[in-house]
């Protein structure tokens, strides 16, 4: 078993909330380098709050968050927000968006250099969007926008990739393409990935570890432990079936409340 | 008077009217690109009324200081207050702006009631957009503000653009979005307060919106939007002052109307292009 000091991110009895509203109480977990972790749970359960704490946007009310064993260290995170939260009026090109992934390395004043532009091009190649570099971001399909945002996150050369509902509102083909892309980065490049999703089937077939977030309750464990019929039936207050078909996990709610 | 004589009169007799309106137009046009793309257009309308209220306040018997300072202090205080309220999201954005807008107008009317007739006519001239009597001192102050604010925006361009596009991700990359939003609103507040004193509220609000709208219709790249907005802003003050002289109209509204016509032509041409 790896020592706690080697964990990329370690939460120790962390309480998170906004003023008096406590969202997550005394939660503890670790994310090891190279893991692919999913965060699932009902709407409003606190998934986004935990992500904001990992991102460093939200400070814990109590407890300790450590990066590589130290409270003072910060991770370089490639963040992929929900696609619908970005709706620009200005005609940003795909290149304009991806180069923003380098801004964190440049500080407040320095302009992007040829090295930054090269990193942006490399990121676009990874997501197979180099031919769209000069295209307007506004005019892209949902899947292309998502790949652009993933490229932006990769351009930052991050320690960890965090994706918030990356397949939201996509058709089957686009969803599969995005998930295979994320899986590729995890498998081929050893990228540590944290993915928030309410699509349990996506999560079940790609991640190795799951955090299940409920209001005032938190579980972390393997896919088999967390995504069991008993657990999901209790969490979602619906009879849930978990099965397998041709090697793919399938999770279905039967639609009748217990 | 021939057209040549009109232009010569403007340049020789009212040079600061022309220069002041050009500088105000360029400054408002640049900031207006962010105002329009961030969908906070009503912020411009509200701040211009707050600036006029500040000018009215400085004319009250117990106040009696340079109206420009009243405009700046009022606008900066209100900018800080509603920048904070807009970020806290506890009250809808348009409610905050609407309440501020009507409060500024109401306060201005009340304060004018208590001012001497001479001061009322000065406020009246600002509201009508009578910019012919811009003084050298006012122009130099406006120019100084233009230079400082443009330097801030050009040096920290990355921060302003990133926060405008995606504030949440910008924060994860070390750009404190709350701070940069506050800085943005403060630069708009200072620009509006000084420009309103010089060229009037209609001019300022008009040039926060119209050039940026025209640029967004035509530009295909982000950097071109700023250049086009400045270009669209540079033309109406010259034509507007000429028309104001020729037709005996107030210069500010005439300039804004000229800008609107230019926007309409741009829109029609862009429809044909598509």
Of B33, B39, B221, the CB nearest to A93: B221
Of B165, B171, B221, the CB nearest to A86: B165
A81:B37 CB<8 A: no
φ and ψ at residue B27, rounded to 5 degrees: -65, -50
User: Structure pTM?
Assistant: 0.89
pLDDT at residue A1, as a whole number:
40
The three-class DSSP label of residue A225 is helix
Of A55, A106, A107, the CB nearest to B172: A55
Q: Strand A192-196's sheet: what is its strand order?
A: A77-80, A160-164, A192-196, A36-40, A209-214, A217-222
**Dihedral of the alpha carbons of B214, B217, B221, B223, in degrees to the nearest 10:** 10
Residue B270 tokens read as: 């862009």
CB of B177 within 8 Å of a chain A CB? The answer is no
DSSP category for residue A255: S
Chains A, B: CB pairs < 8 Å: 72
Chain B: nearest CA to A111, how far in angstroms? 8
CB of B167 within 8 Å of a chain A CB? The answer is no
CB of A173 within 8 Å of a chain B CB? The answer is no
What span, in angstroms and rounded, lies between the C-alpha atoms of A33 and A100? Answer: 25
What span, in angstroms and rounded, lies between the C-alpha atoms of B202 and A3? Answer: 66
B172:A152 CB<8 A: no
The average confidence (pLDDT) of chain A is 89
Chain A: nearest CA to B44, how far in angstroms? 18
Chain B: nearest CA to A90, how far in angstroms? 6
The residues with which A11 forms a beta bridge, in sequence order, are: A29, A65
Residues of B in contact with A58 (CB under 8 A): none
ipTM of this complex > 0.85? yes
Count of other CB atoms within 10 angstroms of residue A153? 26
CA A142 to chain CA centroid, Å, is 17
Of A77, A91, A111, the CB nearest to B222: A91
CB of B217 within 8 Å of a chain A CB? The answer is no
Tell me which residues of chain A have a pLDDT lower than 70: 1-5, 256-258
Chain B: nearest CA to A117, how far in angstroms? 15
pLDDT at residue A3, as a whole number:
45
Chain A: nearest CA to B177, how far in angstroms? 10
pLDDT at residue A257, as a whole number:
54
CB of B164 within 8 Å of a chain A CB? The answer is yes
Tell me which residues of chain B have a pLDDT lower than 70: 64, 87-89, 117-120, 122, 127-129, 273-274
Residue A127 C-beta-side C-alpha neighbours within 13 Å:
28
CA A100 to chain CA centroid, Å, is 19
The residues with which A163 forms a beta bridge, in sequence order, are: A80, A195
pLDDT at residue B257, as a whole number:
94
Of A55, A86, A107, the CB nearest to B166: A86
The three-class DSSP label of residue A12 is strand
């Amino acid at each position: 078993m790896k020592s706690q000091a080697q964990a990329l991110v370690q939460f120790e009895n962390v309480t998170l909330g906004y003023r008096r509203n406590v969202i997550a109480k005394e939660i503890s977990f670790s994310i090891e380098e190279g893991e692919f972790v999913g965060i699932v749970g009902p709407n409003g359960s606190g998934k986004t709050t935990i992500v904001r704490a990992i991102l460093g946007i939200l400070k814990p009310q109590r407890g300790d968050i450590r990066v590589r064993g130290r409270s003072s260290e910060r991770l370089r995170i490639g963040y992929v927000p929900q696609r619908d939260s970005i709706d620009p009026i200005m005609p940003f090109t795909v290149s304009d968006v991806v180069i923003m992934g380098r801004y964190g390395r440049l500080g407040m004043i320095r302009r992007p250099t040829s090295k930054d532009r090269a990193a942006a091009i490399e990121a676009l190649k990874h997501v197979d969007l180099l031919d769209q570099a000069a295209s307007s971001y506004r005019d892209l399909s949902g899947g292309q926008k998502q790949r652009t945002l993933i490229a932006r996150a990769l351009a930052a050369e991050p320690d960890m990739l965090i994706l918030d509902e990356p397949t939201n509102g996509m058709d089957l083909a686009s969803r599969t393409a995005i998930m295979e892309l994320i899986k590729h980065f995890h498998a081929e490049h050893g990228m540590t990935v944290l993915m928030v999703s309410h699509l349990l089937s996506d999560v079940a077939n790609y991640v190795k570890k799951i955090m299940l977030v409920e209001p005032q309750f938190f579980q972390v464990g393997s896919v088999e432990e967390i995504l069991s019929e008993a657990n999901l039936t209790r969490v979602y207050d619906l009879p849930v079936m978990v099965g397998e078909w041709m090697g793919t996990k399938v999770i279905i709610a039967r639609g009748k409340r217990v | 008077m021939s057209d040549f004589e009109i232009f010569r009169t403007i340049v020789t007799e009212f040079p600061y009217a022309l220069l002041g309106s050009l500088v105000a137009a360029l400054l408002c046009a640049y900031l207006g690109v962010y105002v329009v793309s961030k969908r906070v257009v009503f912020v411009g309308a509200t701040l211009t009324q707050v600036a006029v209220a500040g000018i009215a306040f400085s004319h009250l018997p117990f106040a009696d200081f340079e109206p420009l300072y009243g405009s700046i202090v009022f606008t900066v205080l209100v900018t800080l207050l509603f920048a904070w309220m807009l970020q806290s999201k506890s009250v809808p954005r348009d409610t905050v702006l609407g309440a501020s807008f009507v409060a500024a107008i109401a306060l201005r009317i009340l304060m004018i009631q208590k001012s001497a007739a001479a001061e009322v006519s000065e406020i009246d001239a600002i509201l009508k957009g009578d910019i012919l009597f811009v003084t050298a001192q006012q122009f130099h102050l406006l120019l100084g503000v233009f230079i400082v604010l443009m330097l801030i925006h050009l040096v920290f361009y990355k921060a302003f653009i990133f926060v405008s596009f995606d504030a949440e991700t910008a924060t994860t990359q070390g750009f404190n979005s709350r701070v940069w939003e506050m800085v943005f609103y403060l630069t708009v507040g200072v620009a509006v307060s000084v420009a309103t004193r010089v060229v009037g509220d209609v001019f300022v609000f008009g040039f926060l919106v119209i050039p940026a709208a025209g640029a967004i219709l035509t530009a295909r790249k982000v950097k071109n939007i700023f250049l086009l907005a400045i270009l669209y802003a540079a033309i109406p003050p010259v034509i507007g002052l000429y028309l104001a002289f020729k037709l005996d109209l107030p210069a500010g509204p005439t300039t804004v109307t000229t800008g609107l016509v230019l926007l309409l032509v741009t829109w029609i041409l862009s429809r044909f292009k598509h």
